[in-house]
Amino acid sequence: IKNGTDAASLKTALEAASFKVESVEAKPARRNPYPPFTTSTLQQEASRKLGLAPALTMRIAQKLYEGIDLGGETVGLITYMRTDGVQMAGEAIAEVRRHIGRDFGDQYVPKAPRIYTSKAKNAQEAHEAIRPTDPARTPAQMRLHLSADDFKLYELIWKRTLASQMESAELERTSVDISATTADRKLDLRATGQVVRFDGFLKLYTEDKDDDDDEEGGRLPPMKAGEIPFRERIESVLHFTEPPPRFSEASLVKKMEELGIGRPSTYASVLAVLREREYVRLEKKRLVPEDKGRLVTAFLESFFARYVEFDFTANLENQLDRISNNEIDWKEVMRAFWLDFSAAVGDTKELRTTEVLDKLDELLGPHLFPKRTDGADPRACPRCGNGRMGLRLSKTGPFIGCSNYPECRFTRPFGVASPDAEAEGGSTTPDGARLMGDDPETGLQVTARSGRFGPFVQLGEGEKPKRSSIPKGLTIAGITLEEALKLLSLPREVGKHPEDGEPIFANNGKFGPYVQHLKTYANLTAGEDVLTIGLNRAVDLIATKREKGPGRFSRAAPQGRPLGDHPEGGAIQVLDGKYGAYVKWSDVNATIPKSIDKDAITVEQAVDLIRARQAAGGGGKAKPARKTAAKKAPTDKAETKAAAKKPAVKKPAAKKTPPKKKTA
């Protein structure tokens, strides 16, 4: 269907048509169950089904492996969670089969136990698959003993283990032809999919897909020729050709396993580093590269290509396996690696900065300077016209600048700009600031910029234009003109103080947003908006500040979000601090890692972070002050007399010494 006119015509015809099933072609098929979980498949499926990051999945699995308290006894609920083996012990298989027959019926138990072997590269299979230690501990029985996330992961492992030993599903791959007849035309429709004749393991478990690319199609209801289907609705939807989807955390783990990169214990840490160093961001469960990540990747591909090739890590893993089998000498492997690597580092050190920048500029060019719709040169300088934009380096980091410097001083921040808007003069100013529009009251231009103390918005130009910091949660690219004008309208009068009638103002300062009453200034806490804070809260902050008295560090105590109670008593709070979000219990502060969303953190995760912090020596009871070591008492009478007769030692007068000669 080439255009909207054809689509509208077909939709009109189908809405007036009568339908009939002309033929049904069915071919029998069987679908076998999936093997029990390995570390990789557990992380993938927990990401797809439960939305858990791999690092969080492994923390929960560690807890389930170490055990929980069941009636005064600590019981491990699952086997070891770092494994690439899919095999199960014979007694475990027998117990699972008995449980299937008892709960689902004998028709769901295959005649012979299922035996699985790993297909992953470099699989060592040193441990069993991840399975429940006792299938009789059903998720329903464990629900009261586990937190929400712990329960979900245990239920996932339990179902996958039982499904791996269940009977195959019996299906029919079906094609159905349906005729749609109108007064003047006949249209042929076709549906393809599967009809389930016996659900088998599907009764308990279905594996999710990374993308909607199931080649076997969806499920169809049973149909036969001659039936008159009921028309539910006719939809006309416009689709565009899209590039392949970006990696999710699940699909990236799957790809690393296929390529033989890493081990079960390293998948989660690899993904955590990518996010913690801000090389990527997670957007709709997809890993989207940041400009910093692109820059690092371009550098490594340009000067250390061998060490970032897909097969380098896999080949090194093979060598490590051979070392463990005593087939090769580890010293020879290390020597060969170090000779080549040190040579690569030495060659790179000899390069001039301009050579490195030119190479990076060439590789990142298509990303930094996308094609314009008008066909103009995307690298042309929008200010001087004859200069070429390219990658430059300063003390504060990379940026985009004109080749005609210093005659032309046009720059913009490192990253992708809109070349079409820039060409029209509607995106950036000559110094690289983002144009947002005009202030309707003054007619002055509003821009968003990046400065020494972070991003800010500015009204007009000149020697001292009005400026206001962009708060956390907003970016230069994302802030709207309306939000910018509200920030530039600060300070805002919140209301009159109930005691003296003097105004209370809210404003942005060098150290963040604050409220002011006369000469008292109180900082706002995390989560409070300078544009919306109310009078009651402002009065409370002012009163708290006055109670603490003046001083450099006497800002209002942070008011965190209550999360729940600690098992040992006392409330747990989630707060934002100078170095990021953290949880607080009693006098213990534990940083929330970037892999955990502070708004979605659970009490159990917070308790784990607090205990880890205590184990590392943070928080808890104050340590006693160090005491000066006492002099050893005399051990006998002779020593006592000698100590008594010993005269006091006088400090000798300082002697004047000639100055020493200075040496180079």
SS (H, E, C) 88-138: CCHHHHHHHHHHHHHHHCHHHCCCCCCCCCCCCCCCCCCCCCECECCCCCC
The residue-averaged pLDDT of 277-291 equals 86
Tally: H helices and E strands in the chain: 17, 22
Mean pLDDT of 448-460: 78
Q: With cut-offs at 50, 70 and 90, classify the pLDDT of residue 651.
A: very low
Strands 73-75 and 286-289: unpaired
Q: Are strands 186-198 and 280-283 parallel, antiparallel or unpaired?
A: unpaired
- Catalytic residue, candidates 80, 405, 521, 579: 80
The lowest-confidence range among 502-506, 522-526, 527-531, 621-625 is 621-625
pLDDT per position as a tens digit, 246-268? 898 888 988 888 887 877 778 88
Q: Which of 106-110, 548-552, 596-600 has the lowest mean pLDDT?
A: 548-552
What does the mean pLDDT of the chain come to? 81
Can you tell me the mean pLDDT for 208-218? 54
- pLDDT given at position 193: 87
Looking at residue 453, its pLDDT comes to 67
Per-residue buried b or exposed e for 210-248, using 16+ beta carbons within 10 Å of the residue's own CB: beeeeeeeeebeebeeeeeeeeeeeeeeeeeeeeeeebb
Residue 408 to residues 230, 365, 403, 430: CA-CA distances in angstroms? 70, 21, 8, 9
Q: Judge whether residue 420 has pLDDT over 50.
A: no
Q: Is this structure's pTM higher than 0.85?
A: no
The CA–CA distances, whole Å, from 566 to 214, 556, 573, 584, 608 equal 45, 25, 10, 10, 10
- State the DSSP code for 288: E
What span, in angstroms and rounded, lies between the C-alpha atoms of 562 and 594? 20
Angle of CA points 312, 318, 323, to nearest 5°: 125
Measured over the CA atoms of residue 591, residue 597, residue 598 and residue 604, the dihedral's sign is negative
Torsion of CA 163, 166, 167, 168, to 10 degrees: 20
The answer to whether residue 514 is catalytic is: no
Average pLDDT over residues 610-637: 57
CB 461 within 8 A of CB 496: no
